[in-house]
């Protein structure tokens, strides 16, 4: 796979033990702006919280460089508040199919 090939990625986050609701309120608008920026480029991202209200997941397609750039921006917003991990996901590229 080349670095400019689009692949599915998953970003999994969960709230750190010492995070307050004020901490979450402070980062929420920045995360929303980051996702809006992604959508404004005509890209699809599925995201949402799990039932435990402590963790969430976002699924998107991007090149490796785009995914790393998005993750760096996310990390700048969420460090100290959330634990987060980015994984390249070997799943069917469903977002590409749905975007057409």
Domain boundary assignment for the chain: 7-98
Where is average pLDDT lowest: 1-5, 12-16, 24-28, 87-91? Answer: 1-5
CA 20 to chain centre: 21
Say if residue 100's pLDDT is above 70.
Answer: no
Stated as kind and residue range, the H or E segment containing 94 is helix 94-98
For residue range 54-83, what is the model confidence (pLDDT) as tens digits? 999 999 999 999 999 999 999 999 999 999
Look at residue 21 and give its three-state secondary structure: helix
CATH of domain 7-98: 3.30.70.1060
Other beta carbons within 10 Å of 89: 15
For every residue of 40-94, DSSP letters joined together read HTT--EEEEE-TTSSEEEEEEEE-HHHHHHHHHHHHHHHTTTEEEEEEE--S--H
Task: Name residues whose C-beta falls within 8 Å of residue 16's C-beta, 6 or more positions apart in sequence.
Answer: 80, 81, 82, 83
What's the whole-model pTM score?
0.85
């Amino acid at each position: 796979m080349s670095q400019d090939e689009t692949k599915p990625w998953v970003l999994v986050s969960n709230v750190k033990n010492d995070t307050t609701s004020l901490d979450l309120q402070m980062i929420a608008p920045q995360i929303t702006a980051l996702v809006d920026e992604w959508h404004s480029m005509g890209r699809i991202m599925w995201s949402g919280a799990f039932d435990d209200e402590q963790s969430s997941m976002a699924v998107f397609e991007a090149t490796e460089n785009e995914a790393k750039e998005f993750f760096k921006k996310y990390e700048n917003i969420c460090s100290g508040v959330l634990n987060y991990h980015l994984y390249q996901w070997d799943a069917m590229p469903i977002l590409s199919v749905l975007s057409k």
